[in-house]
A and B are shown apart, each in its own frame.
Chain A
Amino acid sequence: MGPEESDHTGAKAQPARDGETSLVDRLREGDEGAFVELIDRYQAPLERFLRNYLPSPDLAEDVAQETWVAMLQALPRFEGRSSLKTWIFRIGANRAQARMRRERRTLSFSALKSAMTRDDDESADIEQLLPSAFSAETGMWAAPPARWEDQPETKLLSDETVRHVRETIEQLSTMQAAVITLRDMEHWTAPEVCEALEISEANQRVLLHRARMKVRKALESQLEPDAS
């Protein structure tokens, strides 16, 4: 049995790797190069991640900066039990949630409405997310789904298709969007996501599953406009 650490959540994510340990040591010594390395690696992903919680890019940038300050402040208490990466994003998520609680009082009506739509999304009917070629009544495929993997790369990864996917993710609930951003855009592992978002593996999977179903559905309407 070991003592509980402030940056330890009990999740099974990789603890700080050797490269990260020396990065933390250098930061504590005030090495600017270490800080540059860190913001070059994580500032853009952090801002993109925070956008899931906050209604405007300006707010996300603001909270990202707040996150770095909070990270420097808390550095003495970081004991390397979680990775530096998940720790930074956890600080960011907590700051973003706190900011939203404050902003809700002053937000404009339209921004508030969009924030509420996102949070309300969890109840969406899962049946509607099934492929159009699948019949929920019979439990059978009316026709096999189209083989998207055979489509040319230029269509599959066109600016238009990718933009449509990004817009779909922006419409997801905050937690679904946060999970799919980290898993499928940043290529984090499931344990890393659980550690950063402080959620269980089962919850992480449900959120990811629903988010991917919605992205797949969005692609269906994009790649097969006649299907539904």
Chain B
Amino acid sequence: MNSQMSRAGQGFTCHEVIRLVTDYLDQVMPAADRARFEAHLQGCDGCDGYLEQIRTAIRVTGHVPPETLPPEARERLLDAFREWKTAEPAKAGRNGWLPGKLRQLFKR
């Protein structure tokens, strides 16, 4: 007889494991729940395979390449910074003041 599954409050069902995967991966489960979660994985190929699929999904998501910044956009940002810097940086520093000309740079 499976004593682990038969006692109330012991053992997670497959449904619960599927629901708790993110909590498990983020390590925010209480130690006792974590132990029960891992015990379930040991005895359940289905949930173990599911966890690996989620890990694979995370990995593939991590491979989505970032957009590259066009050189013009970079230049526009630097121009804006130079404006900010030359327009009385001390005043800008104290009051968060920004020259109108700098704002103009962002209007294309």
Which candidate, A74-82, A100-108, A116-124, is the interface stretch facing chain B?
A74-82
Provide the residues of chain A in CB contact with B41, threshold 8 Å: none
Q: Which residues of B contact A219 (CB under 8 A)?
A: 53, 56-57, 60
Q: Check A190 against B26 for contact (C-beta < 8 Å).
A: yes
Total B residues in contact with A, Cβ cutoff 8 Å: 57
Q: Known: A39-B74, A72-B81, A184-B62. Is A145-B67 also a contact (CB below 8 A)?
A: no
The tally of CB-CB contacts under 8 A between chains A and B is 159
Contact with A along B75-86 (1 / 0, CB 8 A): 011101110110
Contact A169 B61 (CB under 8 A): yes
A44–B67 CB distance below 8 A: yes
A216 lies within 8 A of B106 (CB)? no
Contacts of B56 in A (CB 8 A): 148-149, 156, 219
Smallest CB-CB separation from B96: which chain A residue? A73
Q: Which of B57, B65, B95, B98 contacts A72 (CB 8 A)?
A: B98
Question: Is A19's beta carbon under 8 Å from chain B?
Answer: no
A147 touches B22 (CB 8 A): no
Which residues from A are CB-within-8-Å of B1? none
- With A68-B80, A76-B93, A130-B18 known as contacts, the answer to whether A205 contacts B69 (CB < 8 A) is no
Residue contact B13 to A139, C-beta cutoff 8 Å: yes
Q: List which B26-58 residues lie within 8 A (CB) of chain A.
A: 26, 28, 44-50, 52-58
Tell me, yes or no, whether B8 is within 8 Å of chain A by CB: no
**Residue B7 at the chain A interface, CB threshold 8 Å:** no
Residues of B within 8 A of A62 (CB): 106, 108
Residues of B within 8 A of A69 (CB): 80, 84, 98, 102-103, 106
CB distance from B68 to the nearest CB of A (A): 7
What's the least CB distance linking B12 to chain A, in Å?
11
Whether A48 contacts B67 by the Cβ 8 Å rule is yes
With an 8 Å Cβ cutoff, the count of chain A residues facing the other chain is 61
Are A32 and B26 in touch, CB under 8 angstroms?
A: no
1/0 contact string of A199-215 vs chain B (CB within 8 Å): 00100010011001001
- Chain B residues in the interface with A (C-beta under 8 A): 13-15, 18-19, 21-23, 26, 28, 44-50, 52-69, 73-74, 76-78, 80-82, 84-85, 89, 92-98, 102-103, 106, 108
- By Cβ-Cβ distance, the 7 closest A-B pairs, closest first, are A141-B46, A30-B85, A145-B49, A209-B22, A184-B61, A144-B45, A216-B57
A-B pairs with beta carbons under 8 Å apart, 15 shown:
A32-B82, A35-B77, A47-B69, A72-B84, A75-B93, A146-B53, A147-B52, A148-B52, A148-B56, A162-B63, A162-B64, A165-B64, A212-B22, A212-B57, A216-B57
